[in-house]
Amino acid sequence: MKKDFLILICFLTSVVGLILIYIAAINLEPKQIELKDVTSELVGRSVLTSGKIVYKKTHAAGHLFLTISDEDTKIQIPLFAGFMNTLKEVGLTENDFEIGLKISVSGLVDEYQGQLQIIPRRDGDIKILND
Amino acid sequence: MILETVLLVFIGIAIGVFAGLIPGIHVNTTIPLIMSLSFLLPTPYYLAVLVISVAVTEMFIDYIPSIFLGAPEADTSLSVLPGHRLLLEGRGHEAIKLTILGGIGSLLVSLIFIALLANSFQYLYEVTRPYVQYLIFGVMIFMFITEKNLKKMLSSILILSMTGIFGILVLNSYLVPAQEVLFPSLTGLFGLSTLIVSIFERSSIPKQKEDSRMLISKKEIVKSLILASIAGIVVGFLPAVGISEAGTMVQYLGGSGESRSFLITISGINVANDVFSLVSLFLVGNPRSGASVAIQGILGELMFFDVVFLIGVVMLTAGVASFLTSYLGKIIPKYLEKMNYKVLTISVIIFITCLVLFLTGPFGLLIVFTSTSLGLLCSFLEIRRSHCMGILLIPSLLFFTGLNEVVFSVLGI
């Protein structure tokens, strides 16, 4: 009886914890920073930033690789095939990401072959700011 | 260069001993702190030496708090790590020596395997990668069916599912930085929950026997080391399949169900996996552990000489760390026997909780609260704690099947 009670308590606290984490997860946004402030010290952290598209390359597998820049800093934005499919559902295709457009992007900062990247995950993580 | 390297190895060992003795401090927590000291060192090589020596030392020392601070009473001993079982028999020092044997033995055996198979790794890596999801799924099925009865199988599905949902949420949200999120998650699932069970059981550390001979046959040792080295290398190929899953599989497939063989195997897998992770930086350019990610960040692309040099650092560190672990494993229980175990355990729980709050903030506290509840649930259901690895298995399965985007979309995260 005592063990069953402990199991019930642990189950309920686990469920409550999961619900609270879920509520926090869907409401929390990453920290907004300038593109020049995205450094390797932020690898593994989530940020929100913006910049102009200065380079664009499509991959045969359906990936789209963008590079955004302010005056000095360049950051890669890899949009993988699965994410591109998600964007298509909200009406964005690779043609919408033209060179010169300013976009905002939020996601995880990563480093690939010495180059800093921001990897968006949700459709709302990447927005075109001007036409 | 040699003198400086040896000096840094000893500094790394000192840091590794200190960090390893603190319960709940994973090597992935220590490494970023070490990396922040890079400005003190003149070349990246020195930083790499420091990282490796800290990581390897912690790998050995970590067994001391794991075995000596999670001891429940005999009637629940089947649900906890086999080291506790030996501790309850008064053979805690033997348990520590077995982990050292596993670590050192597997370091040598895995290096032989790696040297023999070096040219095939890139091929094996590319061949296995499209099938990773099937392998992860196979591991999960294997974990269910090896539970003892239907009730436990259903309980294990519940735990795997709940920890899987937990993993999806914490690994894919902005609650805690990605590089720190595993600390509160794994600390609760495997650390705090074990300590809390210990308080429930009113455990005390029994008087330890002076005789610490390893009561295991040479044949069993050789078998455990070979299995551990193979499993450690295989873990390097399978993302999310961790040491404990591999250990569970080896335990059943290889017949190393006995505590002593299991300790050798688990420790051996750990070391073999770390050695392979380092070598895989050179062979396939893909880091497979926290330490190897750091090394890649420090040195970039590794040359053959770099790998040989770093393996030398690993071997020097492992040799010294194994002596220190054995020594500390002998003297620490003598002090613990005299202490009030309950007070000690509560102090450790408070310390870890404060550390989680300091390193990961209030959301880290929420994560550790939830993960501890899940770990306790697993413990009270009397199923293997390795089912809690759903935290990594389920998110990885979703990633490799391409279902992660669908799940994120449904959950709105």
pLDDT at A16: 96
The closest CB to that of A14, out of B177, B367, B377, belongs to: B377
At residue A26, what are phi and psi to the nearest 5 degrees?
A: -80, -10
Q: How confident is the model at residue B364 (pLDDT cuts 50, 70, 90)?
A: very high
Task: Let me know: does B370 contact A14? Beta carbons within 8 Å.
Answer: yes
What DSSP line would sit under B227-278, residue for residue? HHHHHHHHHHHSTT--HHHHHHHHHHHS---SHHHHHHHHHHHHHHHHHHHH
Task: Let me know: does B52 contact B12? Beta carbons within 8 Å.
Answer: yes
Please list the ranges in chain A whose pLDDT falls under 70.
Answer: 1, 130-131
pLDDT at B340: 81
As a whole number, mean pLDDT of residues B1-24 equals 88
Coil, helix or strand for B289? coil
Task: Let me know: does B269 contact B247? Beta carbons within 8 Å.
Answer: yes
Q: Judge whether A26 lies within some domain.
A: no
Q: Do A17 and B169 touch (CB under 8 A)?
A: no
As a whole number, mean pLDDT of residues B385-395 equals 84
pLDDT at B169: 92
DSSP B41: S
Residue B400 scores a pLDDT above 90: no
Q: Which residues of A touch B (CB under 8 A)?
A: 3, 6-7, 10-11, 13-14, 17-18, 20-22, 24-26, 28-30, 40, 43-46, 82-83, 85-86, 108, 111, 114, 121-123
Beta bridge partners of A74: A69
Q: Do B300 and A26 touch (CB under 8 A)?
A: no
At residue B286, what are phi and psi to the nearest 5 degrees?
A: -130, 115
Measured from the Cβ of residue B109, the count of other Cβ atoms closer than 10 Å reads 21
Side-chain half-sphere exposure of B355, counting CA atoms within 13 A: 20
Locate the chain A residue with the closest alpha carbon to B401. Answer: A82
Q: Do B366 and A20 touch (CB under 8 A)?
A: yes
- Mode of pairing for the β-strands spanning A31-32 and A46-58: parallel
Exposed / middle / buried, residue B341 (Cβ in 10 Å: 0-12, 13-18, 19+): middle
Q: Do B175 and A46 touch (CB under 8 A)?
A: no
Q: Judge whether A13 lies within some domain.
A: no
CA distance B65 to B21: 6
At residue A13, what are phi and psi to the nearest 5 degrees?
A: -65, -35
Nearest-CA neighbor of B280 among B317, B242, B311, B241? B311
* Mutation for A interface: B181, B367, B378, B380, most A CBs within 10 A: B380
In this structure, the dihedral spanned by the alpha carbons of residues B279, B282, B286 and B290, taken in order and rounded to 10 degrees, is: 50
Task: Let me know: does B368 contact B192? Beta carbons within 8 Å.
Answer: yes
Task: Let me know: does B255 contact B241? Beta carbons within 8 Å.
Answer: no
pLDDT at B74: 32
- The CA angle B294-B299-B305, to the nearest 5 degrees, is 120
Q: pLDDT tens across B254-274, in order?
A: 555 577 888 888 888 888 888
As a whole number, mean pLDDT of residues B274-293 equals 74
The CATH number covering residue A51 comes to: 2.40.50.140
The closest CB to that of B370, out of A17, A26, A29, belongs to: A17
Q: Which domain holds residue B69?
A: 2-411
Residues of A in contact with B380 (CB under 8 A): 3, 6-7, 10
> How many structural domains comprise chain A?
1
Q: Do B366 and A17 touch (CB under 8 A)?
A: yes
Residue B24 scores a pLDDT above 80: no
Exposed / middle / buried, residue B246 (Cβ in 10 Å: 0-12, 13-18, 19+): buried
- Which two structure tokens, joined as six digits, stand for B2? 């040699």
pLDDT at B285: 67
Q: Judge whether A9 lies within some domain.
A: no
Residues of B in contact with A63 (CB under 8 A): none
Q: How confident is the model at residue B313 (pLDDT cuts 50, 70, 90)?
A: very high
Q: How confident is the model at residue B109 (pLDDT cuts 50, 70, 90)?
A: very high
Q: Judge whether A100 lies within some domain.
A: yes
- Helix H or strand E segment including A106: strand A102-112
DSSP B381: T
Q: How far is CA B325 from CA A90, B57, B59, B298, B318, in A?
A: 57, 9, 10, 28, 10
Q: pLDDT tens across B208-257, in order?
A: 887 778 878 888 889 888 888 888 888 776 655 667 667 767 766 655 55
**Which amino acid type is present at position A116?**
L
The closest CB to that of A25, out of B173, B178, B376, belongs to: B173
Q: Do B404 and A44 touch (CB under 8 A)?
A: no
Q: pLDDT tens across B125-154, in order?
A: 777 777 878 878 888 888 888 888 899 999
Q: Judge whether A80 lies within some domain.
A: yes
CA distance A56 to B38: 35
Q: pLDDT tens across B74-94, in order?
A: 333 333 467 777 887 888 889
Q: Do B411 and A44 touch (CB under 8 A)?
A: no
Q: Judge whether A25 lies within some domain.
A: no
The residue that leads in pLDDT, B159 or B185, is B159
pLDDT at A80: 83
**Smallest Cα distance from B340 to chain A, Å:** 25
The closest CB to that of A21, out of B370, B381, B405, belongs to: B370
Residue B7 scores a pLDDT above 60: yes
> For A91, left (φ over 0), alpha (ψ -120 to 50), or beta?
left
> How many structural domains comprise chain B?
1
SS3 for B166-184 is: HHHHHHCCCCCCCCCCHHH
pLDDT at B15: 93
pLDDT at B73: 33
**Which amino acid type is present at position B84?**
H
Q: Judge whether A5 lies within some domain.
A: no
**Smallest Cα distance from A62 to chain B, Å:** 14
Q: Which of A100-109, B21-30, B214-223, B338-347 has the lowest mean pLDDT?
A: B21-30
**Smallest Cα distance from A68 to chain B, Å:** 22
Residues of A in contact with B377 (CB under 8 A): 7, 10-11, 14
Q: Judge whether A3 lies within some domain.
A: no
Residue B339 scores a pLDDT above 90: no
Q: Do B178 and A45 touch (CB under 8 A)?
A: yes
As a whole number, mean pLDDT of residues B161-189 equals 85
CA distance B232 to B252: 16
Q: Which residues of B touch A (CB under 8 A)?
A: 162, 165-166, 169-170, 172-175, 177-180, 297, 300, 363, 366-367, 369-371, 373-374, 376-377, 380-381, 402, 404-405, 408-409, 411-413
**Smallest Cα distance from B138 to chain A, Å:** 25
Sign of the four-CA dihedral B294, B295, B299, B301:
negative
Measured from the Cβ of residue A39, the count of other Cβ atoms closer than 10 Å reads 11
The closest CB to that of B380, out of A6, A24, A25, belongs to: A6
Q: How confident is the model at residue B104 (pLDDT cuts 50, 70, 90)?
A: very high
Beta bridge partners of A77: A66
Q: Do A25 and B169 touch (CB under 8 A)?
A: yes
Residue B102 scores a pLDDT above 90: yes
